[in-house]
Amino acid sequence: MSKEHRQGPDFLASKRAVETLTGWMTTAEAAAYLKTKPRTLLKWVREGSIKGWPLHGTKRRTWRFRRQDLDAALGSIAPPISSGVVDSSTSSVVRVQLGGLQ
């Protein structure tokens, strides 16, 4: 099979279908999902910010990521503001609660 055939639209669509069915992503796919570079993603794994699953039996460490783990990490990195009251006359925030960042 030629390299062009393996990387054509059908091949990419089948890779996305596999990820959708299994829920597992490669480092490159997970980095694209998080809109970051693979090196940054692996740094976050080393720091413990994101859960990664190493594959054993390979010469180099290969990682896989679950979408639910990535979504959970996103929620802990940038939690939504749960409540906040803005005084429109002074345009200042009266009270803001930031979940676990206090």
Instruction: Kindly list the domain boundaries of the chain, sorted by start residue.
Output: 23-84+93-97
5 token code pair: 């055939």
Decide the pairing of beta strands 24-25 and 53-55: unpaired
Select from 15, 21, 32 the least CA-distant residue to 6: 15
Select 23-84+93-97's CATH number: 1.10.3470, 3.30.420, 1.10.1660, 3.40.50.
1.10.1660
* CA distances, 3 to each of 8, 15, 75 (Å): 9, 15, 38
Select from 7, 1, 78, 98 the least CA-distant residue to 36: 78
Residues of the chain with pLDDT under 50: 4, 79, 87, 91-94, 96, 101-102
pLDDT score at 21: 58
3-state secondary structure of 38: helix
pLDDT score at 22: 73
